[in-house]
Structure formats: structure tokens, C-alpha cells
Amino acid sequence: MYRVEFSESAVKQLKKLDKQTARVIKNWVIKNLVDTLDPRHHGKALKGIWRYRVGDYRLFAEIKDEVVTIFIFEVGHRKEIYK
């Protein structure tokens, strides 16, 4: 079972979003990533990281198998996150 951790910058990015969007993202993470057996099922592999889609928003994460942790380090709108 994997744990989910957010970086400080990801937490700041979540706080900048409107409350409804932040709630949707948090609920999606709780439903799909917390205590999952395979976090790769819900995401797409990029170069060394994983991308998760939540509506028009994206989460970039690193999956650390050795400590069974998903480390989310960036959260943002799809128009801005790839820059």
C-alpha cells in the first residue's frame, strides 16, 4: 500500500487554486492513490516521473517503490504545468 506525500511547492500550488478545484484534486488523490497497490494504473509515465490527470489539472509525481511512497511535487492547470 502506497502513501502519498506533497512537496511544499505542491501544497502552495494547491492553496492558490479555488477551493472547489483543490477539493476535487484532494478527493481524487484520496480515492485513487492513497493505499493503492499499483499507483501506475492511474497515471502515465513521463521521463522519470508520473503524470496524473484530474480534469484540466495535472499532478506530477515520483513513485518511490523502496519506501512505498508517491511524492507529488507539482500541481497545476494543463495549460501552465508543461512550461
Quick: pLDDT tens for 47-79.
999 999 999 999 999 999 999 999 999 999 999
Write the CATH number of the domain with boundaries 3-81: 3.30.2310.20
Q: For 1-83, where are the E strands, in sequence order?
A: 3-6, 44-45, 50-54, 57-64, 69-77
Query: Quick one: angle between helices 19-32 and 8-16, nearest 10?
Result: 130
**Residue pair 74/82 in contact by the 8 Å Cβ criterion:** no
The pLDDT value recorded for residue 8 is: 97
Q: What is the pLDDT of residues 28-46, one digit of tens each?
A: 999 999 999 999 999 999 9
State the pTM of this model: 0.89
Collapse the DSSP code of 51 into the 3-class scheme (helix H, G, I; strand E, B; otherwise coil) and give the result.
strand
The pLDDT value recorded for residue 40 is: 94
Instruction: pLDDT band for 82, please (50, 70, 90 cuts).
Output: confident
**Ramachandran quadrant class, 8 (left: phi over 0; alpha: psi -120 to 50; beta: rest):** alpha
The pLDDT value recorded for residue 83 is: 72
